[in-house]
Amino acid sequence: GGGNDKEVTVGAKNFTEQFILAKMTEIMLEENDFSVDMADNMGSTALRQALESGEVGVTWEYTGTGLITYNDEEPISEKDEAFEAIQSIDAEQDITWTNPSNIDNTYTLVMREADGEEKGIETISDLADYINENPEEMEFATDAEFGNREDGLPGVEETYGFEFGNSQVNEMSYGLNYEALNNEEVDVAMGHATDSRIEEYNLYNLEDDEQFFPSYHASVSMRTEVYEEYPEIEEILEPLSQELDGETMTGLNYQVDIEDENVDDVARNYLQENGFIE
């Protein structure tokens, strides 16, 4: 700290995992004499625009989101293949991808265990059959992003051949989807694979038997001018990105979403316990 001129803005979306990753990044960079501004609470598209405009310098982004949502590319399942594809496509837009982690935060469809067992629904194909036989019965909870993204509800419905009626689609802020399902206000909800509420509320992920959802490995995505000015950012974050995986991330999300700990404490404790900071 004090009188340094290495400045960077870290951006984040509007859910816990993003807050934690951004906070860890802030702490790690500050330890290395950066002064860091935070710009969080954005939807995916807003965050991408902020990165493109230069308002934000460094983010954690998901490979599948980069390919499908920002570049209209075909989804890719294999981790390294997806990373290398988005890395080369985004290079042309002055965005540099580094530090692929093993956090695969894919989208998922979730139901209550007991209800799914009763209805005999294990896979998304089972759900499609059920909905086609019982139209307008199943209520669905989603955030606006999943409801509208090509790699979200429209794509799932097209791939599996079913459709929720308009009045069955209940749009709400991300997070409330799990509450609505748990409270039996809806029967199916969208989810993020690393969200701890799935297990905590005895929900389960429907098997994506047509493999519609690709991989979404959290990786650092930054402006190329930031990368070129501060190539050390990649090195500073590398040990962290190597250590983080889906199970670890779900556990950190649990501390915030279920145990009500604050993001700053969770991020700092993790970094200390793993020897990334003192």
163: left (phi over 0), alpha (psi -120 to 50) or beta: beta
Nearer to ligand PBE by C-beta: 125 or 215?
Answer: 215
Nearer to ligand PBE by C-beta: 105 or 168?
Answer: 105
Sites for ligand PBE among residues 113-172 (CB under 6 A): none
Minimum CB distance to ligand PBE, residue 195 (Å): 8
State how far the Cα of 61 lies from the Cα of 74, in Å rounded to an integer. 17
Q: Is 192 in the site for ligand PBE (CB under 6 A)?
A: yes
Sites for ligand PBE among residues 97-116 (CB under 6 A): 105, 107
Q: Is 65 in the site for ligand PBE (CB under 6 A)?
A: yes
Among the listed residues 9, 14, 44, 250, the single contact to ligand PBE using CB under 6 A: 44
State how far the Cα of 251 lies from the Cα of 258, in Å rounded to an integer. 10
- One character per residue 4-23, x = contact with ligand PBE (rule: CB under 6 A): ---------x----------
Buried b (16+ CB within 10 A) or exposed e, 61-85: bbbbbbbbbbeeeebbeebeebbeb
Give the single-character DSSP code of 101: -
Using an 8 Å Cβ cutoff, are 73 and 23 in contact?
Answer: no
Minimum CB distance to ligand PBE, residue 107 (Å): 5
Angle between helices 124-133 and 153-160 (to 10 degrees): 80
Nearer to ligand PBE by C-beta: 17 or 26?
Answer: 17
Minimum CB distance to ligand PBE, residue 272 (Å): 27
Alpha helices in 32-97 (DSSP H): 44-53, 63-65, 79-91
Minimum CB distance to ligand PBE, residue 230 (Å): 25
Number of H helices and E strands in the chain, helices first, is 14, 10
Sites for ligand PBE among residues 206-235 (CB under 6 A): 216
Q: How distant, in Å, are the alpha carbons of 32, 43, 89, 155 from that of 146?
A: 37, 11, 23, 10
Name the residue with the smallest CB distance to ligand PBE. Answer: 65
Binding site for ligand PBE (CB under 6 A): 13, 44, 62, 64-65, 105, 107, 192, 216
